[in-house]
Chain A
């Protein structure tokens, strides 16, 4: 099922006695989610991603704009008539019901021609339980399950009535690190097997990048960029997206363009043909540094962290504007780098360097070399 969001806007009336401006949680969001894809809504907390999910689900109504499921306009439809399945952040499993009771709960709501017999329900529940691999837990109460198992039950409950769209709100945030890796593979697998259009919300870019077919990066209610994870990473639309994606985060410098050349401090690092002279902000991915004795960018070397497969060089430079104040370069472990040197020189990989407008922080399109 294709899901179309058309100029979706949601404002909340200002809270409190002092009349302040209304809060716009989602601002003019348009996006066509292709059928059968896994979409990650990504952004820092308060960016409007959860509100967007609620709007798709129908728990909240948009202030303006429209939502279509396929050809159907569902904008004003209550959630129960939309055919969506939702997994809540805290799972919202009914504590007084067994796992089986929880999974069959949505089926018991069916009325009229859809009404199912108890056997049909149980059969259906077992089928879904097998899909998420919890067949042996059906008689337990939610309190007797681990976090990962509860998550599976919640997914099973959302899937059991074969929703047209599956929504997951921060599905991994309540799990520990190891389970998180395992569960996200699991979500990917389940989505592949069922082919249900799935939207999930997360603040963890790693999570979104690793399993999504497409990601939507949001900030303060406004969509920043939509695209395949790797494409967004390789080609960020603005400084926010560049900073938000990637671990370790991108390194930011104050830079200048003069006569078709990009300078960081006094060092001419790359040629930037066709860019007009002026101050820019330069983003360099950690893997964009090449240790090079003749490299133009000379930094003070703070320390070297060996991490097995590769090596992190922690350095500092007067033009560096990264929040942590230091440059983190990731280089291959084979590189010849002295751990005790005071300075380190880098040359830069042009495709790992992005230029942004100093004021607007928008990406300046250019071909560096």
Chain B
């Protein structure tokens, strides 16, 4: 086929321009930033090149808090949401009546504004002078509480954050798993039934291996997504996450860039690159593990 170089590049020009200016250049720049010590955004000058930014970030108690929060969030929400989504999807695929209705309902959180619904969660869990809030009403049935989940103890806040995160990520996982389950040929189950396979064994020996690629896909994207958690936390605890002890790594990056403690793009860059390194490492580990366990 003939080569139409000029024309092709013309078609590509807008994309290259946009990606070049807003992705490639920033990508290179962020590394440079992260090594420029003492950068001043007003005068755009710096003192020298080095790893001081990294060492500052790594010794910043706020950053360490953010890392701790993020890891707790990841470790709790990824397995929990994936497992729960698997249960729900299996339940969904075993029924006929009301199935469409359930599916539609379950998907709703995906199309709602994280910030907006987060506000509702805050109202549900918050204890104010006027009311203990609905969550505490339920707790009181069990003779517990009242606890302020929004401004109260650390673990209570972490609970709400995890709860809301799971609520937000469920639609995507349920959707992916239900379509993965639906794509398993019904004949496998028929064959297994004829052979007298128990329900549990069918699930463990047929369903799980068959959907394992999708399951690992969800775990990997789940890890990546949870490591980048931010707006859920903002929705629940407000923009001053450091004060609430609920900051995440991404939140730390933005705080360093902008806001009350902002104006330090170098620190922000270093923190962002550290985050990238963490995510990359975890994803690589995930992929190595999955290669061992995912069949075909």
B97 vs chain A, min Cβ distance (A):
13
Q: Which residues of A contact B295 (CB under 8 A)?
A: 95-96
Q: Is the CB of A59 within 8 A of B205?
A: no
> In chain B between 197 and 230, which residues have their CB closer than 8 angstroms to a CB of chain A?
197-198, 201, 205-206, 209-210
A94 at the B interface (CB under 8 A): yes
Q: Which residues of B contact A86 (CB under 8 A)?
A: 190-191, 194
Bound-state CA distance A108–B201 (Å) is: 10
Contacts A92-B187, A94-B188, A96-B296; A109 near B201 (Cβ below 8 A): yes
Q: Is the CB of A80 within 8 A of B197?
A: yes
Within the complex, which residue of B190, B197, B205, B210 is in contact with A88, where a contact is CB–CB below 8 Å? B190
- Binary contact readout A61-86 vs B (1 if CB under 8 angstroms, 0 otherwise): 00000000000000000111100111
Q: Is the CB of B209 within 8 A of A80?
A: no
Within the complex, which residue of B188, B195, B206 is in contact with A106, where a contact is CB–CB below 8 Å? B195
B193 at the A interface (CB under 8 A): yes
Q: Which residues of B contact A57 (CB under 8 A)?
A: 194
Interface size on A, residues (CB 8 A): 27
Contacts A105-B205, A143-B296; A92 near B197 (Cβ below 8 A): no
Contacts A105-B205, A109-B201; A90 near B195 (Cβ below 8 A): no
Contacts A141-B296, A143-B296; A92 near B185 (Cβ below 8 A): yes
A161 at the B interface (CB under 8 A): yes
Bound-state CA distance A106–B193 (Å) is: 9
A173 vs chain B, min Cβ distance (A):
14
Bound-state CA distance A89–B185 (Å) is: 12
Closest A residue to B208 by CB, please name it. A96
Contacts A96-B295, A141-B296; A79 near B185 (Cβ below 8 A): no
B14 at the A interface (CB under 8 A): no
A200 vs chain B, min Cβ distance (A):
15
Q: Is the CB of B190 within 8 A of A109?
A: no
Q: Which residues of A contact B192 (CB under 8 A)?
A: 105
> In chain B between 35 and 71, which residues have their CB closer than 8 angstroms to a CB of chain A?
none
Q: Which residues of B contact A157 (CB under 8 A)?
A: 191, 195
Within the complex, which residue of A89, A96, A109 is in contact with B195, where a contact is CB–CB below 8 Å? A109
Q: Is the CB of A109 within 8 A of B188?
A: no
Q: Which residues of B contact A88 (CB under 8 A)?
A: 187, 190-191
B259 at the A interface (CB under 8 A): no
> In chain A between 131 and 169, which residues have their CB closer than 8 angstroms to a CB of chain B?
141, 143, 157-158, 161
> In chain A between 262 and 313, which residues have their CB closer than 8 angstroms to a CB of chain B?
none
Q: Which residues of B contact A106 (CB under 8 A)?
A: 195-197
Size category, B interface: 10 to 19
Most chain-A Cβ atoms within 10 A of its Cβ — which of B188, B192, B194, B197?
B194
Q: Is the CB of B296 within 8 A of A92?
A: no
Q: Is the CB of A80 within 8 A of B190?
A: no
A257 vs chain B, min Cβ distance (A):
51
Q: Is the CB of A80 within 8 A of B193?
A: yes
Contacts A105-B205, A109-B197, A109-B198; A95 near B191 (Cβ below 8 A): no
Most chain-B Cβ atoms within 10 A of its Cβ — which of A58, A92, A161?
A92
Bound-state CA distance A66–B188 (Å) is: 27
Q: Is the CB of B296 within 8 A of A90?
A: no
Q: Which residues of B contact A96 (CB under 8 A)?
A: 209-210, 295-296
> In chain A between 90 and 130, which residues have their CB closer than 8 angstroms to a CB of chain B?
90, 92, 94-96, 105-106, 108-110
Q: Is the CB of B185 within 8 A of A80?
A: no
> In chain A between 14 and 72, which residues have their CB closer than 8 angstroms to a CB of chain B?
57-59
Within the complex, which residue of B194, B198, B206, B209 is in contact with A59, where a contact is CB–CB below 8 Å? B194
Q: Which residues of A contact B196 (CB under 8 A)?
A: 79-81, 106, 109-110
A185 vs chain B, min Cβ distance (A):
25
Bound-state CA distance A44–B197 (Å) is: 33
B52 vs chain A, min Cβ distance (A):
52
B197 vs chain A, min Cβ distance (A):
5
Q: Which residues of B contact A90 (CB under 8 A)?
A: 185, 187
Bound-state CA distance A157–B190 (Å) is: 13
A281 vs chain B, min Cβ distance (A):
41
Bound-state CA distance A96–B187 (Å) is: 15
Q: Which residues of B contact A108 (CB under 8 A)?
A: 201
Q: Which residues of A contact B205 (CB under 8 A)?
A: 94, 105
A211 vs chain B, min Cβ distance (A):
23
Contacts A96-B296, A141-B296; A105 near B195 (Cβ below 8 A): yes
Bound-state CA distance A348–B192 (Å) is: 54
Bound-state CA distance A57–B192 (Å) is: 12
B residues adjacent to A (C-beta < 8 A): 185, 187-188, 190-198, 201, 205-206, 209-210, 295-296
21 contacts between A and B (CB under 8 A): A59-B190, A80-B194, A80-B195, A80-B197, A81-B196, A84-B194, A86-B191, A88-B190, A89-B187, A92-B188, A92-B191, A95-B295, A96-B209, A96-B295, A105-B192, A105-B205, A108-B201, A109-B195, A109-B201, A110-B196, A158-B194
**19 extra interchain contacts, Cβ-Cβ under 8 A, other than A85-B194, A94-B188, A109-B197?**
A59-B190, A59-B193, A59-B194, A78-B193, A79-B193, A79-B194, A80-B195, A84-B194, A86-B191, A88-B191, A92-B185, A92-B187, A92-B188, A96-B209, A96-B210, A96-B295, A105-B192, A157-B191, A161-B195
10 nearest CB pairs, A to B: A80-B196, A106-B195, A96-B295, A92-B187, A96-B209, A92-B191, A86-B194, A88-B187, A109-B196, A79-B194
